[in-house]
């Protein structure tokens, strides 16, 4: 029995030794879980993301601790602070801890105390705290950081967005000029709207005013950390303490407005909403003329708890505004009233806008153009259109936006895309300068053959035209400066019979105007009509000129027009081998071929027509000069 008691005593001592080691000797992890805590800085705190005061005398959980230590030497508060090690020589030191949150769903607040030794920051001795870092490798970090001399050029406390390890954008700048032996408590807050604010407080001083900035960019929030770039004499001279990261209750607001179709808007909020607050009186929709648009129905979006579908009546306007108020979240907190303006337009679909005319071989000193026409019933946003061409392997190349400005093409309207509208307007007849769109970059179209590709902003092909110089009229003496025009909007774009050379009678191109070779869907008889039949070219400003009007059943004719006197002698060859539009006119001033004034009398007009298929027609009309020219 005595032996058993002795053995039991030994085992008991051993057990107590093990337990006491676990309780008193084993390092305690820093609390960094979602522990509920009270209000911080007067805000409604949802949960703790991370908190550390280093009073356990350990850096448990921190990564890359070789050049950092928990120390009681010149600590900031309590018994211990995290401190840079004096064992370090010179260079760059960083230490990180896992801490993450969804910046898209709740507000986040960071608080920490930071102190440097008796030295002024510079481009060689600088430091910053990573509020958010997607990796613990400083050269690759994306996120945000607040500190001093982040770019090496400012001693002010600043908050920067970090991209690929480098300071990318200054978000907030404070008035704290950090100098030797500065100790400050720094507080930074980011709302789900992307609104940033920071303030600081030095010992014995009032908290600073709040400095603000905006950056709605969302980046992965995985780590926090401290970075120190230093010379050998500054090693060991940086402290941090009382680090906390907490989630805060965010306000309810509209995160996104999406135009679903011609009569439905979906509103997406940043968090679940109270369905009982979805009332018609909380919504108002108006157009750009401040006219009300009827709201037909408002219902929760199926499958989500943070979206609403708003169904509305018909409108012919483009710029609309939706006012929303009275909507509350699940806790009953009501959103601030909000007004969202949006364009009542949709991404163009295939066939909604077509290539209508192409000039690919311009006059000397001229420039190419591509004319588009909206054949849909919807207004099309120009900034969602792109022009391109194709390489030999038929892959897209030179894909350029038509415009980056807010601009629209209404149903039936033309849009002339070119690099220099002024040059095009100076070389061709056009009466609508508003239809021109100057492109910053324009695809290169060959003078012989090529492909014009029209795309939307998703790079879906809307229309495509493969052209060739051989598509021009064989009656043209020179194709330079002559556009190819679409004949029918109903026929396929790449139907070779659906394109023709622009008529000489309209100046060889019609930018912004109806095509000279457009086919008519209405059956008409060929007509030659002199107006007026009797004219008096005496220079008195009245009835001085004869207009020989024409209208044909189809485009594509070539014309010769000659004038004869009463005994059959030719006095004027008015038009020679001119390609014609389907409708137009020729003027005659009553002068002969040698520009002599002709006598009063009856004259015969002979119009001869022919097309490339060998069809011919002839018309004879008469006119009268009624007043002798003096």
pTM: predicted TM-score of the whole model, two decimal places: 0.56
Q: Is the pLDDT of residue 195 over 70?
A: yes
CATH 2.60.40.1220 location in the chain: 254-343
Q: What is the pLDDT of residue 15?
A: 41
Q: Residue 106's pLDDT band (boundaries 50, 70, 90)?
A: confident
Q: Is the pLDDT of residue 4 over 60?
A: no
Q: Is the pLDDT of residue 9 over 60?
A: no
Q: What is the pLDDT of residue 44?
A: 60
CATH 2.60.40.4070 location in the chain: 527-625
Q: Which secondary structure element, helix H or strand E, spans residue 9, and what is its range?
A: helix 2-24
Q: What is the pLDDT of residue 422?
A: 95
Tell me how far apart the alpha carbons of residues 502 and 508 are, in angstroms, rounded to a whole number: 5
Q: Is the pLDDT of residue 162 over 50?
A: yes
Tell me how far apart the alpha carbons of residues 420 and 231 are, in angstroms, rounded to a whole number: 57
State pLDDT tens for residues 464-486.
999 999 999 888 889 999 999 99
CATH 2.60.40.1260 location in the chain: 353-506
Q: What is the CATH number of domain 353-506?
A: 2.60.40.1260
Q: What is the pLDDT of residue 37?
A: 38
Q: Is the pLDDT of residue 22 over 80?
A: no
Q: What is the pLDDT of residue 628?
A: 54
Q: Is the pLDDT of residue 11 over 70?
A: no
Residue 488: helix, strand or coil by DSSP? Answer: coil
Cβ atoms of 531 and 539 within 8 Å: the answer is no
Tell me how far apart the alpha carbons of residues 334 and 274 are, in angstroms, rounded to a whole number: 10
Q: Is the pLDDT of residue 27 over 80?
A: no
Chain center to CA of 573: 57
Assigned architecture for domain 45-248: Sandwich (2.60)
Q: What is the pLDDT of residue 354?
A: 97
Give the residue, 552 or 369, on which the prediction is more confident: 369
State pLDDT tens for residues 71-101.
999 999 999 999 999 887 899 999 999 998 8
Cβ atoms of 121 and 127 within 8 Å: the answer is yes
Residue 571: helix, strand or coil by DSSP? Answer: strand
State pLDDT tens for residues 165-177.
999 999 999 999 9
CATH 2.60.120.200 location in the chain: 45-248
Residues of the chain by 3-state class (helix, strand, coil), percent to 5: 10, 45, 45
Domain 254-343: state its class: mainly beta
Q: What is the pLDDT of residue 47?
A: 87
Q: Beta partners for 324?
A: 283, 338
Q: Is 568 exposed, middle or buried (0-12, 13-18, 19+ CB in 10 A)?
A: exposed
Give the residue, 19 or 163, on which the prediction is more confident: 163
**Count of beta carbons in the 10 Å neighbourhood of residue 371:** 27
Computed over every residue of the chain, the mean pLDDT equals 89
State pLDDT tens for residues 224-271.
999 999 999 999 999 999 999 999 988 899 989 999 988 999 999 988
Of 63-72, 187-196, 548-557, where does mean pLDDT reach its minimum?
Answer: 548-557
Of 26-35, 115-124, 445-454, 487-496, where does mean pLDDT reach its minimum?
Answer: 26-35
Q: What is the CATH number of domain 527-625?
A: 2.60.40.4070
Q: Is the pLDDT of residue 2 over 80?
A: no
For residues 256-292, b (16+ Cβ closer than 10 Å) or e, as one string? Answer: ebebeeeeebebebbbebbeebbeeebbebbbeeeee
Tell me how far apart the alpha carbons of residues 75 and 60 are, in angstroms, rounded to a whole number: 18
State pLDDT tens for residues 133-145.
999 999 999 999 9
């Amino acid at each position: 029995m005595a032996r058993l008691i002795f053995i039991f005593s030994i085992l008991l001592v051993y057990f107590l030794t093990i337990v006491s080691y676990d309780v008193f000797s084993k390092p305690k992890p820093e609390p960094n879980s979602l522990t509920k805590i009270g209000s911080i800085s007067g805000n409604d705190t949802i949960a703790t993301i991370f908190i550390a005061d280093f009073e356990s005398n350990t850096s448990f959980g921190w990564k890359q601790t070789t050049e950092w230590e928990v120390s009681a030497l010149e600590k900031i508060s309590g018994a211990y602070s995290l401190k840079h090690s004096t064992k370090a020589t010179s260079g760059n030191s960083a230490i990180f801890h896992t801490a993450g949150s969804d910046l898209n769903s709740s507000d986040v607040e960071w608080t920490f105390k930071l102190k440097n030794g008796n030295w002024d920051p510079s481009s060689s001795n600088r430091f910053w705290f990573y509020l958010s870092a997607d990796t613990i490798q400083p050269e690759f970090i994306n996120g945000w950081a607040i500190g001093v001399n982040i770019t090496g050029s400012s001693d002010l406390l600043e908050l920067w967005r970090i991209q690929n390890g480098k300071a990318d954008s200054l978000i907030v700048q404070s008035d704290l000029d950090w100098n030797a032996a500065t100790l400050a408590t720094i507080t930074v807050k980011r709302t789900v709207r992307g609104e940033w604010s920071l303030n600081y407080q030095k010992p014995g001083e009032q908290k600073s005013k709040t400095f603000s900035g905006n950056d709605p960019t969302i980046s992965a929030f995985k780590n926090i950390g401290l970075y120190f770039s230093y010379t050998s004499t500054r090693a060991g001279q940086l402290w941090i303490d009382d680090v906390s990261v907490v989630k805060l209750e965010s306000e309810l607001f509209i995160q996104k407005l999406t135009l679903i179709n011609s009569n439905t808007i979906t509103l997406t909020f940043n968090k679940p909403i109270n369905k009982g607050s979805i009332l018609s009186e909380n919504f108002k929709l108006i157009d750009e003329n401040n006219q009300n648009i009827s709201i037909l129905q408002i219902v929760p979006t199926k499958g989500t708890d943070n979206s609403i579908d708003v169904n509305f009546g018909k409108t012919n306007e483009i710029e609309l505004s939706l006012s929303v108020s009275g909507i509350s979240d699940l806790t009953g907190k009501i959103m601030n009233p909000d007004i969202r303006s949006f364009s009542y337009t949709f991404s163009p679909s295939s066939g909604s806008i077509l290539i209508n005319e192409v000039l690919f071989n311009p006059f000397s000193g001229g420039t190419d153009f591509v004319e588009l026409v909206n054949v849909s019933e919807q207004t099309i946003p120009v900034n969602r259109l792109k022009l391109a061409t194709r390489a030999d392997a038929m892959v897209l190349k030179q894909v350029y936006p038509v415009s980056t400005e807010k601009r629209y093409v209404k149903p039936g309207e033309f849009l002339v895309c070119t690099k220099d509208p002024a040059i095009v307007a100076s070389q061709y007849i056009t009466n609508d300068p508003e239809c021109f769109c100057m492109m910053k970059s324009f695809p290169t179209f060959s003078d012989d053959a090529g492909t014009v590709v029209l795309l939307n902003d998703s790079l879906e092909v809307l229309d495509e035209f493969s052209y060739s110089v051989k598509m021009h009229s064989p009656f043209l003496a020179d194709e330079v400066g002559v556009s190819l025009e679409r004949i029918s909007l109903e026929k396929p774009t790449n139907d070779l019979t659906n394109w023709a050379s622009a008529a000489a009678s309209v100046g060889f191109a019609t930018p912004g105007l109806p095509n000279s070779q457009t086919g008519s869907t209405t059956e008409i008889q060929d007509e030659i009509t002199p107006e007026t039949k009797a004219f008096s070219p005496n220079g008195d400003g009245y009835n001085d000129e004869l207009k020989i009007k024409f209208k044909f059943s189809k485009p594509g004719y070539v014309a010769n027009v000659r004038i004869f006197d009463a005994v059959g002698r030719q006095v004027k060859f008015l038009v020679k081998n001119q390609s014609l539009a389907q409708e137009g006119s020729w003027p005659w001033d009553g002068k002969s071929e040698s520009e002599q004034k002709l006598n009063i009398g009856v004259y015969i007009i002979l119009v001869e027509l022919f097309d490339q298929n060998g069809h011919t027609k002839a018309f004879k009309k008469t006119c009268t000069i009624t007043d002798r020219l003096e």
